[in-house]
Structure 1
Amino acid sequence: MSSGGPAGAAMDPSQMPAAPPPPGHTPDFDTHDNYKHRNIILHPIVLAFTTVVVLIRLYTRAVVKKKFGVDDSTTWRFGVHIYDIRATEIINTLKGKCMSYAAFPWATGIFNMISDFYILALPLPPILRLNMPLGRRLRIASIFGLGLFTCVTSIMRFVVSRQYARDPDQTYVAAEVLHWTVLEINVGLICACAAVFPAFFDKTAPRSLGSLVGSLLARRSQS
């Protein structure tokens, strides 16, 4: 808020920031810096890719394997600096009681990381003991190994959450934490669908490869 503004405006909650800006910053309610465009780019791309993977899973279960499993059925002003929000816009959201937010990332982050690594390691010993060629066992293990990406995103979300836990500008920094949250959730969904990839590609890849080769040969003969 400009120090040269009228005294009446300085007392008007609709023209006051929800929190004091840091030194050298002036509140800007209209053209402020925010994460909106980055969120607009990230979310549709990740969601579209995840949707394709889920459709592959459903197709493989319904058409290729003709059998569904239990796992198939269990399966606002955000990103804006708090000083760029009018005090009247945030007062109505202050409900409930205070808690130590600094402890929250520790509790959720550590639990998520432990559970992600546990789920990643859980199927590997039985897979490696299967009575099948080593190459096929490694192939199956590598599919479950995709879960390592979920563990990486879980770690990154924990690091970013801890970095910003005590930052008073939560309406802004929480959007960056959300980036890793979105990636963690969607990568987890992709990994959950990865078990059907071998059956899907065994069913479709030979046909697709044959069609591609036939098309190339036809074009060559026509030329």
Structure 2
Amino acid sequence: MSSTRDLSQVPAGTPPAGVTPNFEHPEGSQYQIYSLNIALCLTGTVILALRLYTRAMLQRTIALDDWFCIWAQICAWLFAILCMLNIRNGYGFHMWDLHLNKIKPFKQYDLAAEDIFVVGIWLVKTSILLFYLRLSHEKRFRQMTYAIMIFVAVYNILSLLIFTLGCSPVQAMWDVTLMPTAKCVDQLAFVYANAAFNLFSDIITLALPIRLCWSLQTTLKQRVLLMLVLMMGSFACVIAIVRIVTMMPFLDDMDLTWYKVTLAKWAMVEINVGIICACLPVLRPLLLQVFPQLLGSSKASSGAKGNRGGSDGSDPVSSTRKKVIRNWDYLTTLNTTAAPETTTDVEVQEMAKHEAMDSQSAIVRSTDYSVTCKRSSS
């Protein structure tokens, strides 16, 4: 108990020359913390709600990638709540305006927020990669998608372990009284490494579907539109780069409670932008209702190239299969409640039936004639 009373009278940091500590009314950044966290989480939640409306009401299905996106948004809110609750422990204030007894609860909240951020980013990336698995049944494409998924899982699990168990004894992660004798991993250096891994996986995830989208059997406008939607993920790459750059000035900075706001700000931007980028490709059926002329109807896109099956002697089933699998509608309206192969075969058979009926009705015409012979009686 005496130790607690002593810590409550000890300044947590030494102020720069010419700066006087202010323990009663310190300068803080509470308004920035509240406004940024709430605004970003609300934006991400609105886009996620539109995604769920599209999937549940228009496509009549909720897939695994949707659930991962929901859990990621929950992580974003938990991260924001922990940051806002941590204000009472000195988050957003200078170290020299705080007493040492504030640092232990501050670090505990901060550690929990870091772990939740790692889980949130993991869920966002997994949601995007699960969506990619519905884009194509090509073996190499799926192998690469699974490989990236495993890579993301491994480095995020390592991040969780190092962020949580980075000191020996473990209690030194949040108890400053144990720091002089503890052995710890360089936390800030590992934050850099984690951000670099995030950036690398962002770039690979962004580049993965480009060739697939460009080979779609549809109009050039729609191919470009879909690529632009998927390449919105490049904004998440930019955010990851910015987060790395903003950490550089704090390598030797001891003002932990102050600069953590800047790092958490870009972390909050990164996770919510990731959620928005994960939702955008799924929103196409909803956008078709609002902007049908811009995105084009499914009928126009399915007949954008090539002749109708069977009219030139080709196999209508094979030509229809090419249209279904290489069509933008297939990428965003596939019913994921069934196995992908089964769903595709059903669509192929239905379209082949309509193609065959149309071609037959266009070239076949039957006419009945009645001929009567009358013999003359001479």
TM-score by length of 1: 0.81
Q: Over residues 99-140 of structure 1, what are the superposed CA-to-partner deviations in whole Å (9 max), with x where a residue is unaligned?
A: 213422331121011111111111111101111111111111
1:79–1:176: 8 Å Cα contact kept in structure 2?
A: no
Name the % identity: 32
Larger radius of gyration: 2
Which of 169, 185, 199 in structure 1 is aligned with 2:285?
199
Task: Give the length in aligned residue pairs.
Answer: 196
1:27–1:84: 8 Å Cα contact kept in structure 2?
A: yes
Q: Relative to structure 2, which stretch is displaced further, 75-84 or 86-95?
A: 86-95
Residue 247 of structure 2 aligns with an amino acid whose one-letter code is S
The offset of 1:165, in angstroms, is: 2.5
Which of 172, 184, 197 in structure 2 is aligned with 1:95?
172
Q: Distance in 1 between matches of 2:259 and 2:59?
A: 45
Partner residue, 1:62: 56
Partner residue, 1:51: 45
Unaligned runs of 5+ in 1: 1-10, 207-223
1:128–1:137: 8 Å Cα contact kept in structure 2?
A: yes
Q: Distance in 2 between matches of 1:89 and 1:147?
A: 39
Q: Distance in 2 between matches of 1:24 and 1:173?
A: 20
Aligned counterparts, 1:2-41, within 5 A: 13-41=7-35
Which of 188, 198, 210 in structure 2 is aligned with 1:112?
198
Partner residue, 1:72: 66
Residue 172 of structure 1 aligns with an amino acid whose one-letter code is W
The offset of 1:175, in angstroms, is: 0.6
Residue 250 of structure 2 aligns with an amino acid whose one-letter code is Y
Residue 60 of structure 2 aligns with an amino acid whose one-letter code is K
Change (3 A) 1:112 1:91: closer
Q: Distance in 2 between matches of 1:12 and 1:172?
A: 23
The offset of 1:19, in angstroms, is: 1.4
1:109–1:158: 8 Å Cα contact kept in structure 2?
A: yes
The offset of 1:12, in angstroms, is: 5.5
Q: Distance in 2 between matches of 1:74 and 1:88?
A: 38
The offset of 1:182, in angstroms, is: 0.4
Q: Over residues 140-173 of structure 1, what are the superposed CA-to-partner deviations in whole Å (9 max), with x where a residue is unaligned?
A: 1110111111111111111112221221001110
Residue 54 of structure 1 aligns with an amino acid whose one-letter code is L
* Deviation >3 Å, runs of 4+: 91-94
Residue 65 of structure 1 aligns with an amino acid whose one-letter code is Q
Matched, 1:146 2:223: no
The offset of 1:21, in angstroms, is: 1.2
Residue 197 of structure 2 aligns with an amino acid whose one-letter code is F
Which one scores higher on RCO, CA 8 angstroms, separation ≥ 6? 1
Backbone CA RMSD of aligned residues:
1.9
Partner residue, 2:164: none
Partner residue, 1:84: 97
Unaligned runs of 5+ in 2: 70-85, 108-170, 174-181, 293-378
Q: Distance in 2 between matches of 1:88 and 1:198?
A: 52
Change (3 A) 1:205 1:30: farther
Partner residue, 2:248: 162
Q: Over residues 19-48 of structure 1, what are the superposed CA-to-partner deviations in whole Å (9 max), with x where a residue is unaligned?
A: 111111111123212221111111111111
TM-score by length of 2: 0.49
Helix, strand or coil at the partner of 2:18: coil
